[in-house]
Structure 1
Amino acid sequence: MARDYSHFLPASGDIPKRERSPLENLGWKPFFSQQTSVAELVDTPPVRVVEIHRSGLRLFGDGIDITIPPGPEATVGDWLLYDQHHPSRSKVLERSSVFERRAPGTDHERQLIGANVDTAFIVSSCNDDFNVARLERYVALAFEAEVTPVILLTKVDLCDDPAAYVEAASAISNRVVVEVLNARTDEPIAKLSPWCKHGQTIAFLGSSGVGKSTLVNALFKSNIAATAAIREDDSKGRHTTTHRQLHFAPDGCAILDTPGIRELQLTNAEAGIAELFDDIVTLVSQCRFRDCSHETEPGCAIQKALTEGEIDAPRLARWNKLVAEERFNSSTLAERKASGKSLHKMIRSVQKKNRK
């Protein structure tokens, strides 16, 4: 017979709650404290990056609210050990997760989007701006960072029937939850609460005009983020959030609001893409030839799956595009230059032979 130990427990409602520290309210966890020593914490107190501007980084800590000059290679959400004597030399702690993309333009540079995020709310509206390929990119980004992705479909009040949008979003991955909500009601608080807990950091990702800032305001029950209406002619949004900023809810959840990303070029996301398209990757391993191009070779598992309807051609095309893009963006500038030199050398050799 099992013994009853209930009399050793405090009565319901009398269980004392440990008061959380100011750092814990900012998202400080054992993962970060294990990277430091007691002496470091005294000499260089932990601070979290909450905003980044051209003029510098805004930092929050225990009794600290300061802006330091540019210096540390940090992004919003990062934890730093603040060097009060040389702020620009403050040490960036190892990240539990990081979002990055290839920076817009022709330079082969990466751009950090956010760090130390636990859940990514990938927001899309139920209108002409809905795009499966774009959602796949965000999900791959989250998988690569080992962050939990959740797809949020907004503006359902302006849609006759969101069922088609839900079906398309749900087909992206069986590991991603899809939530449909009206951002201007109490639905966000009720439906998003499982992920918005104390000590958690969530990020809203998506293009402009999908309702990211409206969702932030809904969670705070106040207008802390600027919003604007979409254009009626093409359902496109306007940039209302001009920079990435970390907000802290009263319940201790950190909320990262980001500007709309018009172009999400993936880099260093091979694992995330493979995880998103795990069915296709599995088929690739079953091809007869290792260097199969999945076009006309005999024993191609991809072509067989297409013929038998196991995978569809548009999804395969998106996988091919993302793999090629990721490889190109992840190659170093030196490798690309070397590849370019080899190509030019080969062309010159052929031209020389033709002249002879």
Structure 2
Amino acid sequence: MNDAPPLCPDAAIDSLGWQPFFAAQLTADDTGMTPVRIAVVHRARLLAETGATGGGEQLRLAHLGGTSDYAVGDWVLMDPETRSAVRRLNRRTLLRRRTESAHIPQLIAANVDTLFIVTSCNDDFNVARLERYLALANEAGTNPVIVLTKVDQVADAEIFRAQAGALQRDLAVVTLNAKAPDAAKTLAPWCGPGQTVALVGSSGVGKSTLLNTLAAKAPDAQQPTGDIRAQDAKGRHTTTARSLHAIQGGGWVIDTPGMRTLHVSDVADGLDILFAEITELAPDCRFRDCTHAHEPGCAVQKAVASGRLSPDRLDRWRKLNDENVANTPVRTGARGNKSDAAKPRKR
């Protein structure tokens, strides 16, 4: 074991979200290296926050290769002489999704404490989509908070709040007008010094507007915002890249582009948390591999029949569970040399 003292980041680095989890990974070999945090990931370059006054730092890659292994929010050790990214530290949390055309999951954000799942009080509100985001947040180990925007445009936002709050136990749900100055105050409990939040949701729900409010950006530095189509509440993409921004209260926010689709994969634990009432009933089923569809002695179906469990809720669980099983790669190969292989598609 290496008993050399680790690096001791100063208060500026602490304000970026540096925690003992990251400090514990440092060794004597890292002496002289500077911890920095990835703020923007481009195809061929990385921009990082150093905590120093004056903005970010452009990093060089110490080894050949692209930037696909890095996520906004990552902590990296930088060689101060060459300005090279020498080593990425292990992540506390990682938000990622698998896209239909890619074999490798797309990295969304790293080391996020709270995930703000943003949706608006209009036709964009969709409980099935919110459940997908919740499964993603649960699996990553982040704290999910549903943020309902555009409350000023509806007569009764409580209808939306009640539906969202019923999706998961102890789920925090807040309502706000993203343009109003008090929006930052509403979200302040999760945006304290050193805390990192991320914004996810469809285009047009107010993520960029909320970012501008949280960060109190000057007009010439604000993220562009776009209108939505009145007929279907759909918005245009105004955010094209993930990026890290300082916000009021001393925290940091990671902005993300709107997601048109969110396929679930590798989120078995996240689904168990989301559908805790089904997870807890399953051990009482007669058959260990019960699908909760037609088997005799099914405790879940019994709960549906008695009215304790909504059949719609069970249908959504089944759809997400089946999708997760189909999309999650199978570990194949000899023991000690296993690799991920995508499951064959049904014809």
Q: TM-score, normalised by structure 1?
A: 0.84
Is the counterpart of residue 56 in structure 1 residue 24 in structure 2?
no
CA distance in 1, matches of 2:197, 2:100: 24
- 2:11 pairs, out of 21, 24, 27, with 21
1:199/1:41 CA distance change after superposition, 3 Å = farther
1:95/1:340 CA distance change after superposition, 3 Å = closer
In structure 2, the residue matched to 1:8 is none
- 1:34 pairs, out of 24, 41, 55, with 24
Residue deviations 1:198-218 (CA, integer Å, cap 9, x gap): 000011111111111111111
Within-5 A mapping of 1:199-210: 199-210=194-205
- 1:312 pairs, out of 310, 324, 327, with 310
CA distance in 1, matches of 2:164, 2:192: 25
1:90/1:159 CA distance change after superposition, 3 Å = same
Where 2:278 maps in the other structure, the secondary structure is helix
CA distance in 1, matches of 2:342, 2:157: 50
- Report if aligned partners of 1:108, 1:333 keep a CA contact under 8 Å in 2: no
More helix by share: 1
Residue identity matched to 1:307: A
CA distance in 1, matches of 2:341, 2:76: 35
CA distance in 2, matches of 1:35, 1:152: 34
Identity of aligned residues (%): 44
Where 1:150 maps in the other structure, the secondary structure is strand
Residue identity matched to 2:268: E
Where 1:113 maps in the other structure, the secondary structure is strand
In structure 2, the residue matched to 1:76 is 72
Residue deviations 1:174-211 (CA, integer Å, cap 9, x gap): 22111111111122122111111000001111111111
- 2:255 pairs, out of 241, 253, 257, with 257
In structure 1, the residue matched to 2:111 is 116
Where 2:38 maps in the other structure, the secondary structure is strand
1:298/1:119 CA distance change after superposition, 3 Å = same
1:82/1:283 CA distance change after superposition, 3 Å = same
The alpha-carbon deviation at position 67 of structure 1 amounts to 3.6
In structure 2, the residue matched to 1:324 is 322
- Report if aligned partners of 1:73, 1:92 keep a CA contact under 8 Å in 2: no
In structure 1, the residue matched to 2:123 is 128
1:179/1:108 CA distance change after superposition, 3 Å = same
CA distance in 2, matches of 1:124, 1:68: 37
The alpha-carbon deviation at position 60 of structure 1 amounts to 2.0
- Report if aligned partners of 1:72, 1:92 keep a CA contact under 8 Å in 2: no
1:99/1:338 CA distance change after superposition, 3 Å = closer
CA-atom RMSD in angstroms = 2.5
CA distance in 2, matches of 1:46, 1:130: 40
Where 2:146 maps in the other structure, the secondary structure is strand
CA distance in 2, matches of 1:306, 1:135: 22
Residue identity matched to 1:47: V
- Report if aligned partners of 1:48, 1:78 keep a CA contact under 8 Å in 2: yes
- 2:57 pairs, out of 45, 55, 65, with 65
Q: Which structure has the greater CA radius of gyration?
A: 1
Where 1:75 maps in the other structure, the secondary structure is coil
CA distance in 2, matches of 1:73, 1:313: 41
- Report if aligned partners of 1:49, 1:59 keep a CA contact under 8 Å in 2: yes
Residue identity matched to 1:103: T
Where 2:163 maps in the other structure, the secondary structure is helix
Where 2:284 maps in the other structure, the secondary structure is coil
Aligned length: 323
Where 1:124 maps in the other structure, the secondary structure is strand
The alpha-carbon deviation at position 103 of structure 1 amounts to 2.2
1:225/1:41 CA distance change after superposition, 3 Å = farther
In structure 2, the residue matched to 1:351 is none
- Report if aligned partners of 1:49, 1:58 keep a CA contact under 8 Å in 2: yes
Within-5 A mapping of 1:1-356: 21-42=11-32, 44-61=33-50, 63=52, 65-69=57-61, 70-71=66-67, 73-83=69-79, 90-105=86-101, 107-222=102-217, 223=219, 224-249=222-247, 251-332=249-330, 340=344
More moved, 55-64 vs 134-143:
55-64
Residue deviations 1:272-296 (CA, integer Å, cap 9, x gap): 1101101111111110111223233
The alpha-carbon deviation at position 306 of structure 1 amounts to 1.1
Q: Point out where structure 1 has 5 or more consecutive residues left out of the alignment.
A: 1-18, 345-356
1:297/1:73 CA distance change after superposition, 3 Å = same
- Report if aligned partners of 1:110, 1:267 keep a CA contact under 8 Å in 2: no
Q: Point out where structure 2 has 5 or more consecutive residues left out of the alignment.
A: 1-8, 334-339
The alpha-carbon deviation at position 257 of structure 1 amounts to 0.7
CA distance in 2, matches of 1:164, 1:192: 20
1:165/1:282 CA distance change after superposition, 3 Å = same
- Report if aligned partners of 1:209, 1:238 keep a CA contact under 8 Å in 2: yes
1:243/1:309 CA distance change after superposition, 3 Å = same
The alpha-carbon deviation at position 135 of structure 1 amounts to 0.7
The alpha-carbon deviation at position 313 of structure 1 amounts to 1.2
